[in-house]
Amino acid sequence: VGGVAGQGNLAIALGLGYDFGENWRFELEGETLYNDLGSINGQPSSFANLRTDTLRLNLFYDFSDFGRWEPYVGAGVGPTRGDLTASASDFLNDTGTVLIRSLACSPGQLPVGVNRLTARGCEVSDRDTNFSWNLTAGLGYDITDNLTWDTNYTYTDIGDFNYDGVYVDANPSI
């Protein structure tokens, strides 16, 4: 499948941590991101969706002497699993009279054994797991001694996933 590009949708994350004192704390975090990537290479009759699930161990340093406010920085590492579902197929022109080849399925040379005359689309439904890392900067507000409201910005690198797809034929029996 050709190129897809998306901007991160809203992620849902839940973390549970422990404060060691002396400005250091850690957290075990689980995060899920579902991203509708839209069409593939801008081609009609195509779509791509990516879901990532991450389990990460984060370490934070809290800057003190700000009263109930607590600015902090952190970093984390852990595995991320990515599930990709994508599909593209040939499509009819605006008048519905000419079948147009989808460029999303054949960005270059087709693999050996795939006939360019019968391949009418491509599909991916695969998952891969990578090592991921993140950097965080944030600001917490101590509601009580044991409860903090937290707002942060996190940059996450999930690496490059490798997915396998198949070419499909217009013949429904294949």
**Is the model's pTM score more than 0.75?**
no
In the structure encoding, which two tokens stand for residue 36, read together? 């509708």
Better pLDDT: 172 or 19: 19
The phi and psi torsions of 94 (rounded to 5 degrees) equal: -60, -30
Local confidence band at 10 (pLDDT 50, 70, 90 cut-offs): confident
Residues 22-49 pLDDT 10s: 999 999 999 998 888 877 777 778 888 8
Please list, in sequence order, all residues whose beta carbon lies within 8 angstroms of the beta carbon of residue 133, skipping any fewer than 6 positions away: 75, 76, 77, 156, 157
